[in-house]
Amino acid sequence: MATDGDAVTQGTEGRSEEGAADAFSPGLVILFAVACGAAVANVYFSQPLLVTMGHDLAMSPALVGSVVTLTHVGYGLGLFFLVPLGDVTDRRRLIVAQLLLLVVALAAVAAAPTAAVLLAGMAATGLLAVVTQTLVAFAASLAPPARRGRVVGLVTSGVVIGILLARTASGLMADLAGWRSVYVTSASLTALLALVLYRVLPRHGGAPPTTLRYGQLLRSTITLFARERLLRLRALFGLLIFASFSTLWSSVALPLSEAPYFLSHSAIGALGLIGVAGALAATVAGRLNDRGLSRWTTGIALALLAGSWLPLAFMRSSLWALVVGVILLDLAVQAVHVTNQTLIYTLRPEAGSRLIGGYMVFYSIGSATGAIAATSLYTVAGWGAVCALGAAFSCLGLLLWACTAHITPGPVAYVASGGED
E runs forming strands in 339-406 = none
Q: Is 167 helix (H, G, I), strand (E, B) or coil?
A: helix
- 233-237 mean pLDDT: 96
More reliable by pLDDT, 402 or 280: 402
pLDDT at 305 over 50: yes
Q: Does residue 336 sit within a domain? A: yes
Asked if residue 349 has a cis previous peptide bond (ω within 30° of 0), the answer is: no
- Name the band, by pLDDT with cuts 50, 70 and 90, for residue 174: confident
- 315-322 mean pLDDT: 91
The distance in angstroms from the start CA to the end CA of the chain is 23
- Provide the CATH number for the domain around residue 312: 1.20.1250.20
Q: How far apart are CA 296 and CA 232, in angstroms?
A: 19
Q: What is the pLDDT of residue 122?
A: 94
Q: What is the pLDDT of residue 14?
A: 41
- 319-345 mean pLDDT: 91
Q: Does residue 5 sit within a domain? A: no
pLDDT at 386 over 90: yes
Long-range CB contacts (within 8 A, 24+) of 199-202? 200/28, 200/31, 201/28, 201/91, 201/92, 201/95, 201/96, 201/138, 202/23, 202/92, 202/142
- 160-172 mean pLDDT: 84
Question: How many structural domains is the chain composed of?
Answer: 1
Q: How far apart are CA 41 and CA 135, in angstroms?
A: 14
- 173-199 mean pLDDT: 94
Q: Does residue 11 sit within a domain? A: no
Q: How far apart are CA 211 and CA 361, in angstroms?
A: 24
pLDDT at 99 over 90: yes
Q: Does residue 215 sit within a domain? A: yes
Portion of the chain with pLDDT greater than 70, in percent:
86
- Name the band, by pLDDT with cuts 50, 70 and 90, for residue 205: low
Helices within 201-318 (DSSP H only): 214-227, 229-249, 253-256, 265-269, 271-281, 284-290, 294-313
Q: Does residue 390 sit within a domain? A: yes
- Name the band, by pLDDT with cuts 50, 70 and 90, for residue 153: confident
- Name the band, by pLDDT with cuts 50, 70 and 90, for residue 413: very low
The model's pTM: 0.79
Q: Which domain holds residue 387?
A: 17-420
- Name the band, by pLDDT with cuts 50, 70 and 90, for residue 18: very low
Asked whether 274 and 323 are in contact (CB, 8 A), the reply is yes
pLDDT at 168 over 90: no
Q: What is the pLDDT of residue 374?
A: 87
Q: Does residue 332 sit within a domain? A: yes
- Name the band, by pLDDT with cuts 50, 70 and 90, for residue 379: confident
pLDDT at 410 over 70: no
Q: Does residue 8 sit within a domain? A: no
Of the listed ranges 80-94, 120-134, 138-152, the one predicted with least confidence: 138-152
pLDDT tens for residues 395-405?
999 999 999 97
Q: What is the pLDDT of residue 49?
A: 83
pLDDT at 409 over 80: no
Portion of the chain with pLDDT greater than 90, in percent:
43
The single-letter DSSP state of residue 414 is P
Of the listed ranges 38-47, 182-191, 254-263, 293-302, the one predicted with least confidence: 254-263
Q: What is the pLDDT of residue 287?
A: 80
Q: What is the pLDDT of residue 204?
A: 64
Q: Does residue 347 sit within a domain? A: yes
